[in-house]
Amino acid sequence: MEYQVIHKETNKLLTITHEDINDMDYDDTGRIVVYGVTGEVYYLLADRDMIREEI
C-alpha cells in the first residue's frame, strides 16, 4: 500500500509505502502524523488507492 504524505520539515510531497512507516498518530489539530522508520515525520494526505488519476 502506498501513501501520499507531506514531509513535516521540508513540505515536500512524497509517496511512501507501508514498509517505510513505523507508526501513525494524531496531532493536536487532528491531522494524521506518520513516523517513518528512518525518524522522518510526515503528514498523511491520502492512501494511494483512493487517488484516481485522469488519463
Model pLDDT for residues 30-54, shown as the tens digit of each residue? 899 999 999 999 999 976 566 566 6
Q: Which of 7, 1, 17, 5 is nearest to 46 (CA)?
A: 5
Q: Please report the pLDDT score of residue 5 as a whole number.
A: 95
pLDDT, averaged across the chain: 89
Cβ pair 22, 35 in contact under 8 A:
yes
Q: Please report the pLDDT score of residue 1 as a whole number.
A: 82
Cβ pair 49, 36 in contact under 8 A:
no
Among left, alpha and beta (phi > 0; psi -120 to 50; other), residue 9 is alpha
Q: Please report the pLDDT score of residue 55 as a whole number.
A: 60
Q: Please report the pLDDT score of residue 2 as a whole number.
A: 87
Q: How confident is the model at residue 10 (pLDDT cuts 50, 70, 90)?
A: very high
Strands 2-7 and 32-36 come out as unpaired
